[in-house]
Amino acid sequence: MKPAQRAAFDDEMRQADAAERAGDLATAFAHLERAHILGQRAPLAHTHAHLRMLRIGLRRRDMREVLGQLLRIPAALTKSRLWVPRGNTGGANVPALRPMPVPADLEHLLD
């Protein structure tokens, strides 16, 4: 990742941490989705975002999210450098292979 992209990824992860500590799981997940968009071409960052989404799914007792993340984590580790659907937010509420629009404020940070 470029330095600016890494900084934005790290910021989204910090905001997710803060929201999760405050018990605001919806906001935490929204920040993880943004982090996913930023980190999905970097295998470790991509996997980290999915692991955190799994944790939110477990805290919510959302079995759809948990199962979705359990399927996505191995792919994040092994496929991130090959192909990822641009803009995909990474949650189980969207198909894993669907490209999605990138939020305007993140567009300039992507490769």
Residue 62 included in any domain: yes
At 93, phi and psi to the nearest 5? Answer: -80, -5
Encoding tokens for residue 102?
Answer: 């990138």
Residue 17 lies in a domain: yes
The two three-digit tokens of residue 19, written as one number? 């929201």
* CA–CA distances in Å: residue 77 to residues 23, 35, 62: 28, 16, 23
84 domain residue, yes or no: yes
pLDDT for position 75: 93
Count of structural domains, the chain: 1
Domain that holds residue 74: 3-90
Tokens of 110: 């992507």
* pLDDT of the chain, 111 residues: tens digit per residue: 899 999 999 999 999 999 999 999 999 999 999 999 999 999 999 999 999 999 999 999 999 999 999 999 999 999 888 888 999 999 999 998 899 999 999 999 996
pLDDT at 101: 95
pLDDT given for residue 82 in this prediction: 80
What's the confidence (pLDDT) of residue 37?
Answer: 97
Do the domain assignments include residue 101?
Answer: no
**Residue 9 in domain:** yes
Q: Is 7 part of a structural domain of the chain?
A: yes
CA 85 – CA 100 distance, rounded (Å): 7
Q: What is the pLDDT of residue 111?
A: 64
Give DSSP secondary structure letters for 92-103.
Answer: TTS-TT---PPP
* Angle at the Cα of 58 from the Cα atoms of 49 and 89, rounded to 5 degrees: 35
DSSP 86: T
Residues 68/76, Cβ–Cβ less than 8 Å = no
